[in-house]
Amino acid sequence: MLKNNVEILHNSLPRVEGCAFHPDWVDEIKINKSAVDRRIATLNNRRTVKKEYQAAWLLKAISCIDLTTLSGDDTPGRVRRLCAKARNPVRPDILEALGFADKGLTTGAICVYHEMVETAVDALKGSGIPVAAVSTGFPAGLAPLETRLAEIRASVAAGAEEIDIVISRRHVLTGNWQALYDEVKAYREACGDAHMKAILATGQLGSITKVAKASMVCMMAGSDFIKTSTGMESVNATLPVSLVMIRMIRDFYEKTGQKVGYKPAGGIGTSKIALQYLVLIKEELGDEWLQPHMFRFGASSLLGDIERQLEHFVTGRYSAANRHPMG
């Protein structure tokens, strides 16, 4: 049914090695907030993709979701149900109608606390879907350093292929960029072969310029991804912040030839917003970044809305959200 040839690639790139700390790279960063807002307005003011093209883009979005549960009342049963949804993110009848039943569509990853890593790894066995563990004293990152490093190692030993670390925001707020570099470098070493996503908690960093500088430092220290938020701050992912971080990714690539991934997280709950992020990535970084190994959404409710939109495309009717449960 889809006219577009929607290709879902799950191959991964080599690890980002980072580079030596270059304070001049940080010092030269200056952000024009007005220019950022004007660029984002071009996304908000245009018509989005429609009909079969929208359906194709939404299928792409599903493949880039880190399906997440980070609640104090998480149970093994809830995590197993979420893993089952990751394996089969869209009802079979909808995929059949879209001509997509045999494409092996899954979400990009499952994201959980360390305590649930083994449960998720077991539930996803044979699927090729990686488990991401939030770590380093998530969400505040204020545990002793050795405790944070030990948590990373424990999650990797339990089978996590991706580690979402949180940075110490105080290093950004005080401009101690060397300390931030050293911290993230230590996290990178503790991750071993697991890919590392550095969570900046952008809503707590004070200014968009500090967000840009923190992004550059984390990439220099070897982050495979940079990520906006824990999802638990009062302000999480936004399009202006995302533009700044994406431009830093482009700048780092031009300086080093190393390609860093991007993950917006928190507050991305509708298909319309997800499409704006995908368009931004395509226009700023290109199609290569529109793959699960280079771009992820950190989300829990987004998948349900996407599935509803896909059913509307197939049937012409919107269904109740409870017809598309997460688990």
* CATH code, domain carrying 116: 3.20.20.70
Closest among 86, 64, 7 to 295, alpha carbons compared: 64
Q: What is the mean pLDDT of residues 300-315?
A: 94
Asked if residue 170 belongs to a domain, the reply is yes
Closest CA to 198 of 170, 182, 219, 173: 219
- Would residue 6 count as lying in a domain? no
CB 99, CB 2: distance < 8 Å: yes
Please list the alpha-helical segments (H only) found in 3-50: 23-27, 33-44
**More reliable by pLDDT, 82 or 8:** 82
pLDDT at 129 > cutoff 90: yes
Residue 3 is predicted with a pLDDT of 46
Residue 208: helix, strand or coil by DSSP? Answer: helix
Confirm whether 10 is domain-assigned: no
Q: For 7-16, 24-33, 176-185, which range has the lowest pLDDT when averaged over its residues?
A: 7-16
The amino acid at residue 61 is A
Can you give the residue range of the structural domain that contains 279?
Answer: 23-322
Q: Rounded to an integer, what distance in angstroms lies between the CA atom of residue 299 and that of residue 205? A: 22
Q: Could you tell me the two tokens for 83?
A: 């893993």
- Residue 9 belongs to a domain: no
> Is residue 113 domain-resident?
yes
| Model pLDDT, residue 45 | 76
For the stretch 17-53, what's the b/e string if a residue is b when 16 or more beta carbons lie within 10 angstroms of its beta carbon?
ebeebbeebbeebebeeeebeebbeebeeeeeeeeee
Closest C-alpha among 58, 11, 83 to residue 292: 11
> Does 66 participate in catalysis according to the annotation?
no
Residue 196 DSSP SS3: strand
pLDDT for 327: 57
| Of residues 69 and 49, more confidently modeled | 69
Interval 36-50 mean pLDDT: 85
Asked whether the predicted pLDDT for residue 60 surpasses 80, the reply is: yes
Kindly name the residue from 85, 185, 197, 227 that is annotated as catalytic: 227
> Residue 12's pLDDT is what?
62
Give the chain's end-to-end CA distance (angstroms, integer).
28
pLDDT at 6 over 90: no
Total of domains in the chain: 1
Instruction: Find out whether 299 and 66 touch, Cβ atoms under 8 Å.
Output: yes
> Is residue 185 annotated as a catalytic residue, yes or no?
no
Q: Which of 60, 85, 164, 197 is catalytic?
A: 164
Q: What average pLDDT score do residues 305-312 get?
A: 95
pLDDT in tens, 194-253: 999 999 999 999 999 999 999 999 999 999 999 999 999 999 999 999 999 999 999 999
Query: For residue 11, is it within any domain?
Result: no
161 domain-assigned = yes
Q: Which of 71, 58, 108, 68 is nearest to 87 (CA)?
A: 108
Whether pTM exceeds 0.85 = yes
Among residues 210, 259, 263, 305, which one is catalytic?
A: 263
Residue 164 annotated in active site: yes
Average pLDDT, rounded, for the chain:
93
Q: What per-residue confidence (pLDDT) applies to 7?
A: 52
Residue 196 and residue 222 in contact, taking contact as beta carbons nearer than 8 Å? yes
Q: How confident is the model at residue 319 (pLDDT cuts 50, 70, 90)?
A: confident
Lowest pLDDT segment from 12-21, 78-87, 124-133, 205-214: 12-21
Q: Is residue 7 part of a domain?
A: no
